[in-house]
Structure formats: C-alpha cells, structure tokens
Structure 1
Amino acid sequence: MEKLLEVKDLYVSFDTHGGEVHAVRGVNFELEKGETLAIVGESGSGKSVTSKALMGLIPNPPGRIKNGAILFDGRDLTKLAEKDMQGIRGKEVAMIFQDPMTSLNPTMTVGNQIMEGLRKHQKMNQGDAHARAKELLALVGIPNPEVRVNQYPHQFSGGMRQRVVIAMALACNPRLLIADEPTTALDVTIQAQILELMKDIQKKTDAGIIFITHDLGVVANVADRVAVMYAGKIVEVGTVDEIFYDPKHPYTWGLLASMPSPDGTDEELYAIPGTPPDLIKPPKGDAFAARNPQAMKIDFEIEPPMFQVSHTHYAATWLLHPNAPKIEAPEMIQNRIRQMKAGNRNG
C-alpha cells in the first residue's frame, strides 16, 4: 500500500500560568492511502491536540510543536509557513469537528459555506460551485439538496448538520480526512448512519481517515488499525482484531472493560481507578502505573519502550519484557473479549 502520512516523534506543548503542559510526548504513527486509523483514549490523552497539529491548527502562543515531523506525501507540514498550509488545509487535508454548530456560520446558507472551499481551492465559478454543493449534499444523504442548499444551519437537525460538515470537508476531495469525535453529540441511530456514511465515502474516494474518539466501541466497525493514547503517548497500536481480542497494555484492558457488554447484561459499568497524570509534571516511568493494579516496581522508575507483539502490534508495557512475570489480563477483560468474539460470530 502507498504511505500517505507519517508522524515522527511529535511533541506539542502549551504554556499556561501553572507551567508548560506537555500535551503530546513523542507520538509516532503511519497511515496508508485508503486506510482508517482510530486514535482512542480518555479526555486529555492528547488525541485532539495531535489531530490539530496535523492540520497546523496549534495556536502559537500558547501552544507550539516542540519537536518532530509530520510527513504528508513526503512534505514535512511542521516546516511550512501558514500561507503554504492554507493551500493544503481543506484541499489536501480536511477535518470534521465534533460539534457542527461551532463549525457552521449561522448567518450563511449551508450552500455558501460549502462553496467557499470550492471557490478558493478549486477556482470554480459561482454556478459550478453551487451545482457541486448540491451534489455533495446528495452524497452525504441529505434529501432535497436543491432546496436544502439555500437553507441555514438552524433549519437542520443535529445529524443533518453533521452531514453538512462532512460535505464541507469533502468538497475539495481531500486525500486525508481527520474526524475528531464526529459522532459524540449524536444519538446512537444517527451515529451509526454517520459512521456508515464515512465508510461509504472512503470506498468512493480512497481517502485516508484518522478517526479520533474516546469510545472504543465506536471504532470496531470503522477502523483498520487502532492507536491507544494515554498521557500524550501512544501506548498500544495494532489491527482492530489485535486491540479488541488480544490487548496487551493494562490501559487498553481498562478501556475494554469500561465498554458496555454487547449483550447488555452488565449490572454496572467498570471505571478505571484514579485520574490521568498532571502533564505539567509528567510522572517518571510508565504514566499509567499509578492507576494500574498490575504495575511492577520498574513501572514507577523507567518508561517502557514499545515491545513488538507482531509485525502490526506493539505495546509499551513492561509486562511484555522477557523477564517479566506472566500476568494475564484480568478475568473481567477475558470475559469481555469472549463476549465480543461471540457477538462478532453471531453478527
């Protein structure tokens, strides 16, 4: 497959009154053309900051990319001037934000908002841009596009507004689409429709997709690979099956355990104990150690490297060291994995 994006040793920090927040700390990943990579983790894990860095949207000040490279088609986006990024943003790389109401201008028709990108990047005239806007609304499943193109955001439901935002992102046929929590504010029925829409669009355009979410359950039927983030780092990465059916990092165990069971038999939901660390003063060793019931002495002293499980599966946990004691995932996690496998077979 053709490599579309490569992120190398990315560090992003923000200056605050309390000190420097080390929001992203040495992130590495790749994305192939036509592939979907899901980045999952709790709020504050660095997912959205990573996505904004890819778009060149880190406000400076107070934020800055301290180190690393973002190679898109071989070009390092971190080295480009803002004027050059404006030629890439929206045209080559586009983003779907979490809340459509913050992405849409209430004083403009949705058609004019879609047409902005077409006229800027594609140099279309008014008539061609208007026709293309109607085509895009139809593509994302909005009925009566010839009428809806002249309506305003408040005349659309939440799910339809999110479809408009997707249409705007797709307007210039980007090769990389970043979806930052695109279904969080939607009910489960609309959520499923939006996810199915994104899969369908990817088949038609062969775009690479980075899907940002805190909900592992959302990515099961969307992603090809999953990267699990915690405290500004990727702690495990693998195919969907490897992450769901053979997880190795205790944090991934906790995320899986906190998902509702497929059969709805949970009496109560599991919650990972404790809270994420203060990234003004990142902890020594494994950042998850304080919340990890399986933590060993070394976890509090030395940060674990990425251990290779397979050619596609890596995890940063000392449990994978050859000299580590053989600790299996807790029974709760093993039961959840068995439930998911059974549900997958039955589905």
Structure 2
Amino acid sequence: MEKILEVNDLHVSFDTFAGEVKAVRGVNFHLNKGETLAIVGESGSGKSVTSKAVMGLIPNPPGRIKQGEIKFGDRNLAQLPEKEMQKIRGSEISMIFQDPMTSLNPTMTIGKQIMEGLIKHQNMNKSEAKERAIELLKLVGIPNAEGRVTEYPHQFSGGMRQRVVIAIALACNPRVLIADEPTTALDVTIQAQILELLNDLQEKMGTSIIFITHDLGVVANIADRVAVMYAGKIVETGTVDEIFYNPQHPYTWGLLGSMPSLDSTDEELIAIPGSPPDLLDPPKGDAFAPRNPYAMQIDTEMEPPLFKVSDTHYAATWLLHEKAPKVEPPAAIKKRMQGMAPDEPIIGAKDGGKHV
C-alpha cells in the first residue's frame, strides 16, 4: 500500500524548571493511503504530543523536536519553517481536537469559522465559501444547514459542535486527518454517531486518519491498524485483529483487561498496577518493567527491540525472545479476548428459554 505519512525516530522534549521531559522517545510508524491508524495508550504516554508534532504545533519554547523526521510526500515536516507549515496545516493535514467548545471561537458564527480555511487555502470568494460551508454542514449531518450557518457555537449541542469541528477539518479536503480523542467529551450515543460519521466520511473522501484515543472499545469500531504507546514509545503495533485477538505485550494485555466486558461477572475491572514512569528520568531497560508481573532481569537492564510476530505485527517485549520462558496472557484476560470474538453477538436476551 502507498504510504502517505512516515514518522522515523521521532524525539520530542519539553524543557521545564525541573529538567528535560522526554515526552516522545524514538517513535516510528507510517500511515497508508485511505486507512485509519489508531494510537492508543494511557494519559501521558505521548499520543497527543506525537500528533501535534506531525501538525507542527509543538510550542517552542518549551517544546522541541530533538531529532527524527516526519515524511509527508517529499517534505520533512520536522524541519519546515512555520510559514511553510501554515500552508500544509488545515489544507493537507487537518486536526480534530478533543473539546469542540475550546476549538471554536464563541464570537464568530459557525459559517464564518468554516469559511476561513476555504478563503485562505482554496482561494474562494465569500459567496462560494458560504455555499461550500452549507454543503459541509449537510455532509456532517447538521439539519437545516442553511439556517444554522449563521448561528454561534453556544447554540449547538456538544455532539453538533463536534460535527462542526469535523466540517472545519474537512473543508479543504485534507489528505490526512488527525482526530485527537474526538469523542471523549461526548456521551456514548453521540460518540457512536461521531464514529459512524468518520467512517462514512472516510469512505466518501478517501482521507487517511490517525485516531488518538485511550479507549480500546473505540479502536475496535474504527481502526485498520493499531499502535500501542507507553512512556513515549510504541510498544506494539499490528492490525486491529492482531492487537485484539493475539496481543503480545503485557501492557496491551493490561489495556484489554481493563475494558468492561458485557458478559463478565467480575465486580471489579482488572487494573494495571503502579504508575507510568517519570519521563524527566526515564528508566533503564523496559519502561514497563516495574508494572510488569512477567518482567525478567534483562527488562531492567536492556530496552527490548521490536520483535516480529508477523509481517504486520511487532511487539517490544523480551518475552518474544527465543530464549525467554513461554508466558501466556492471564486467564481472565484470555477469557475477555475470547469473549470479543467478532462473530458472536454482543447483546442477548432470553425469554421462555429461547435465546434472541
């Protein structure tokens, strides 16, 4: 498949009074044309920093890209001056942020906010831009778009505001769309509608999507491939089926185990013990070792490479070394993985002994 974006050995740091925070530490991934790549992990794992580095939105100071390249076509975005990035940002690569209310200007009408990018990047006049803004509002499912184009953000519900933000991001037909936890602030019903909308828009427009989230349940519904991040590094990557049904890294086991299960009788979710490491002073070896019940001595001494599981599946854990003891996921996690089999119904009802 054609690679539309490629990130190689990306390091991003922030200079603070306490010292240098190494937020992203050697991240590598690529995005294929027309696919959705989900980047998942706990808060502080480096997901959003990575996406903002791609957009050229790392504030300097205090942040900086220490090394690495972000290849977009024949350009390295990590080295482009701000004026050149402004031409790309919004037109070729767009971003949907987590909270639509902080993304929208409360003093401007929805229509004007959509029109801004069209006038700047597409060289449209005001009349053409307004007509296109109405088309975009219809595309993202805003009813009575002709009337609502003159309304302000506070006149829209949370779900409708997120649809408006998506319309702004898609206004210039970008080749890459970065969605940074776009459904976190929404209730589950609206969340499902937004995910369905993104899927529909991708089919219609062929946009490649990087979807940032901490929710593996969301990933299952939208992603083609998944990259699992921990402590500023990608620790496992594979297709969505490989990550859900054949995970190899103990951290991925923990993420899957912490998901609520519809058929579980357990009163408590399985939690990952401990806390993420302090990236002011990253630990030697495998950063997950202090929280890993299967950690070996080598985990505290040497950082594991990405071991190949298949042509599309890699995991950075010494458990995949040929001399490592054979360890399987805990029984409770295996049960949850088996319970997520794609052919089984997720909702069931019984009446009079008959299963519906």
Shared fold, TM over 0.5: yes
Q: CA RMSD in A?
A: 0.8
Counterpart position of 2:252: 252
Counterpart position of 1:142: 142
Counterpart position of 2:67: 67
**Percent of paired sites with the same residue:** 76
Counterpart position of 2:31: 31
Counterpart position of 2:291: 291
- Note the residue ranges of structure 2 that are not aligned, 5 or more in a row: 347-356
> What TM-score do the two structures reach when normalised by structure 1?
0.99
Counterpart position of 2:53: 53
Shift of 1:98: 0.1
Change in CA separation of 1:200 and 1:331 when aligned onto 2, cut-off 3 Å: same
Counterpart position of 2:108: 108
Counterpart position of 1:319: 319
Structure 2 residue 230 is the aligned partner of structure 1 residue 208: no
Structure 2 residue 334 is the aligned partner of structure 1 residue 334: yes
Instruction: Report the Cα distance in structure 2 between the residues aligned to 1:72 and 1:112, rounded to whole angstroms.
Output: 29
Instruction: Report the Cα distance in structure 1 between the residues aligned to 2:176 and 2:166, rounded to whole angstroms.
Output: 13
Instruction: Report the Cα distance in structure 2 between the residues aligned to 1:148 and 1:270, rounded to whole angstroms.
Output: 45
Shift of 1:156: 0.3
Change in CA separation of 1:157 and 1:264 when aligned onto 2, cut-off 3 Å: farther
Instruction: Report the Cα distance in structure 2 between the residues aligned to 1:289 and 1:228, rounded to whole angstroms.
Output: 16
Aligned residue for 1:220, secondary structure, equals helix
Instruction: Report the Cα distance in structure 2 between the residues aligned to 1:187 and 1:344, rounded to whole angstroms.
Output: 26
Instruction: Report the Cα distance in structure 2 between the residues aligned to 1:219 and 1:265, rounded to whole angstroms.
Output: 24
Change in CA separation of 1:277 and 1:344 when aligned onto 2, cut-off 3 Å: farther
Counterpart position of 1:310: 310
Shift of 1:73: 1.4
> What TM-score do the two structures reach when normalised by structure 2?
0.96
Matched letter for residue 66 of structure 1 = K
Preserved CA contact (<8 Å) 1:262 1:340: no
Shift of 1:269: 1.2
Shift of 1:225: 0.2
Preserved CA contact (<8 Å) 1:2 1:32: yes
Matched letter for residue 345 of structure 1 = E
Instruction: Report the Cα distance in structure 1 between the residues aligned to 2:311 and 2:303, rounded to whole angstroms.
Output: 22
Counting only pairs closer than 5 Å after superposition, residues 175-214 of structure 1 correspond to structure 2 as 175-214=175-214
Shift of 1:346: 2.5
Counterpart position of 1:228: 228
Preserved CA contact (<8 Å) 1:260 1:266: no
Change in CA separation of 1:319 and 1:86 when aligned onto 2, cut-off 3 Å: same
Structure 2 residue 88 is the aligned partner of structure 1 residue 78: no
Instruction: Report the Cα distance in structure 2 between the residues aligned to 1:252 and 1:281, rounded to whole angstroms.
Output: 23
Counterpart position of 1:238: 238
Number of corresponding residues: 346
Matched letter for residue 79 of structure 1 = Q
Counterpart position of 1:164: 164
Matched letter for residue 30 of structure 2 = E
Counterpart position of 2:11: 11
Shift of 1:96: 0.1
Instruction: Report the Cα distance in structure 2 between the residues aligned to 1:197 and 1:266, rounded to whole angstroms.
Output: 34
Counterpart position of 1:280: 280
- Note the residue ranges of structure 1 that are not aligned, 5 or more in a row: none
Aligned residue for 1:138, secondary structure, equals helix
Counterpart position of 1:345: 344
Structure 2 residue 173 is the aligned partner of structure 1 residue 173: yes
Counterpart position of 1:217: 217
Shift of 1:264: 5.4
Instruction: Report the Cα distance in structure 1 between the residues aligned to 2:126 and 2:188, rounded to whole angstroms.
Output: 37
Deviation readout 1:299-340 (Å, 9 max, x if unpaired): 011000000000000000000000000011111110111111
Aligned residue for 2:222, secondary structure, equals coil
Counterpart position of 2:301: 301
Instruction: Report the Cα distance in structure 1 between the residues aligned to 2:266 and 2:141, rounded to whole angstroms.
Output: 35
Instruction: Report the Cα distance in structure 2 between the residues aligned to 1:262 and 1:298, rounded to whole angstroms.
Output: 38
Aligned residue for 2:204, secondary structure, equals helix
Change in CA separation of 1:304 and 1:269 when aligned onto 2, cut-off 3 Å: same
